[in-house]
Chains A and B, each alone.
Chain A
Amino acid sequence: MMLSVVVGLTLSILPLPRWLDIARPDFLVIVVLYWSIMVPRAGGIALAFACGIALDAFQGVVLGQHALALSLATYVAIKLHLRIRIFPVWHQALTVFWLLVLYQFVVFWIDGATGHAITDYSRWLPALTGAALWPVFAGLLGNAYQRT
């Protein structure tokens, strides 16, 4: 699990060309959501908070912004984890999409509150790409989960 978190963190700052960068899924968020759906007692909200703080530090935004957003999204994921687990994979992706939108919304909201709102529509793109890639992530992480 820790390895997947480290990989997620690395992927979230990997240099990418501009057009890909805008659509870069929130890798770390998806990893955290996956673990909180599959093994809610393992990392849970504490892990979400720690990863959020790491994201804040990387992006140099106000400390606690991504931490709050990720904690909230993880809370919802943990609350619904039994239901989400039995969904078919496309249905899971849809649920994850809404969780990512929730996450982005909190980030967006705090951006605005601290005085530098980004009002571009493309800022919601990562939620879309993240959800689209959910089956891939679930497959990869499921593989890792079975082997540990």
Chain B
Amino acid sequence: MVAFRNAETRPILGRGPSPGLRLFFFALLSFGLMWLDQREGYLDGVRRGLSMVIYPFQLLVSSPGAVWDWVEESFATRERLGTENEGLELRLREADLKLMRLADLEQENLRLRGMRAATARIAERVMVAEIMDVDLNPYRHRVIINKGIGDGVFKGQAVLDATGIFGQITHAGEFSSEAILITDAEHAIPVQVNRNGLRSLAVGTGDLNRLNLPFLPTNADIKVGDLLVSSGLGGVFPAGYPVATVTKADKMAAQTLANVVAEPAATLDRDREVLLIWLTGVPAAEAAPDAAAKPPAVKQP
């Protein structure tokens, strides 16, 4: 503050390089950074450092919401907690019942898969992460979660919520990470129709309630109401988790590709908490880069 007060009275000469020269220098620096950053991995260290610097800001901005939640929780009435508890117990009983059958099915499935020597990777460890109350670019579907490298988060890790697949980690910082939602226009996820095993890619549209399946021929066996589950190809997402339900399947005979639209199973716009999962047999270091899950240069029709 004090330093620049007398800046105007300083002699004209000896003021350092002219604005033009400075601009040239910083523009060059920007271009250099962009060039390095586009080649994956060169600037990961820098990004990690930066994410540590900006973390306090994110914490500061999201704290009013967090405080409000805390206050609301501590003043929750007894009856509300009681009814909530009853509801949860009911759901737990139902889930237990289903689980009993599932254990048996899982065994059988493993045996069958073992015969074909193709074991699907299943979730080994799960961690709950909270979505921080921070706005990023309104045109991109990204969120910041409050877990980072310190908690074992890695780039390309799958993120789920209670009802389906949510997205994957794009940048893992020290204390917080950035995740991309499956509806982001830059994201694509390998899926499979649950009914008949038909495989395709579900590409984000930039709309929170829509996914596109642009690579299906008109004679593909897909119809409205079909459940799409993750196929596990690409190695990022675990196989067999719900991704979306088909809401529109236009097949015009004149065209080669069908126009298929699906609605995500995860409640992308209402989630406060998400699940991070670690798959069996993927060490964090060789986790597949997210490029593996994206088709190269998808053009939106």
Contact = CB atoms under 8 A, between A and B. Distances in A.
B113 to A, nearest CB: 37
A14 B43 CA distance: 27
A15 B65 contact: yes
A13 B27 contact: no
Interface residues of A, number: 48
Interface string A81-110: 000000000000000000000000000001
B33 A64 contact: yes
Interface in A106-141: 110, 114-116, 118, 120, 123
B82 interface: no
Tell me if B's interface is mostly helix, strand, loop or mixed.
helix
Interface in A38-58: 39-42, 44-46, 48-49, 52-54, 57-58
A49 B178 CA distance: 23
A21 B178 contact: no
Report the interface size class on chain B.
35 or more
Nearest to B2: A148
A64 B19 contact: no
A29 interface: no
A116 B47 contact: no
Contact of A72 (B23, B33, B142, B186): B23
6 smallest beta-carbon distances between A and B, as pairs:
A64-B33, A68-B30, A42-B4, A64-B30, A57-B50, A64-B34
Interface of B: 1, 3-5, 7-8, 10, 15, 19-20, 22-23, 26-27, 29-34, 36-38, 43, 46-47, 50-51, 53-54, 57-58, 60-62, 65, 133-140, 142, 170-171, 178, 185-186, 297
6 contacts: A52-B30, A54-B50, A60-B171, A63-B46, A64-B33, A110-B34
Given A40-B19, A44-B19, A64-B32, 14 more contacts: A15-B65, A54-B53, A58-B54, A58-B58, A62-B38, A63-B36, A63-B37, A64-B34, A65-B34, A68-B27, A115-B297, A116-B140, A116-B185, A118-B139
